[in-house]
């Protein structure tokens, strides 16, 4: 299930308390870079965030003949984006916590 499919379900259910959305995650990303290491199927995605922090995601396949550069970029970006969800979730939770003190 994609982030957008999950967001659609959340909207349908009216779950509108403070939370993150796929758009909020996309908005903190200012650049993306990809690197495939020579003689490997390892793809690394580096996403740079608005504040200058960088997160990485990786993808690799077992057999070199299965390597697909576009798929490697998509998977490595998805893995990097998952890390942003975690970081931004922590930040929002901390902000909510601080507002109750």
Domains of the chain listed by start with CATH number: 20-99 (3.30.160.240)
Q: How many CA atoms lie within 13 A of 5 on its CB side?
A: 2
Q: How far is CA 14 from CA 7, 39, 46, in A?
A: 11, 49, 34
Check residue 19 and give its pLDDT.
94
What is the C-alpha separation between 48 and 55, in angstroms, rounded? 7
Residue 1 has pLDDT above 90, yes or no: no
At 88 the pLDDT is 98
pTM, two decimals, is: 0.90
Instruction: Assess whether pLDDT exceeds 90 at residue 20.
Output: yes
- Label the pairing between strands 29-36 and 54-59: unpaired
Q: Is the dihedral of CA 79, 81, 85, 87 positive or negative?
A: positive
Is the separation of the CB atoms in 67 and 37 below 8 Å? no
Q: Six-digit token pair at 35?
A: 């690197």
């Amino acid at each position: 299930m994609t982030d957008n499919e999950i967001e659609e379900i959340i909207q349908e259910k009216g779950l509108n308390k403070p939370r993150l959305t796929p758009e909020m995650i996309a908005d903190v990303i200012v650049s993306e870079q990809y690197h495939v290491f020579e003689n490997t199927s390892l793809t690394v995605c580096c996403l740079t965030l608005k504040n200058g922090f960088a997160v990485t995601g990786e993808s690799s396949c077992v057999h070199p003949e299965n390597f697909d550069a576009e798929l490697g970029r998509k998977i490595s970006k998805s893995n990097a984006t998952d890390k942003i969800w975690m970081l931004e979730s922590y930040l929002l939770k901390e902000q909510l916590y601080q507002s109750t003190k």
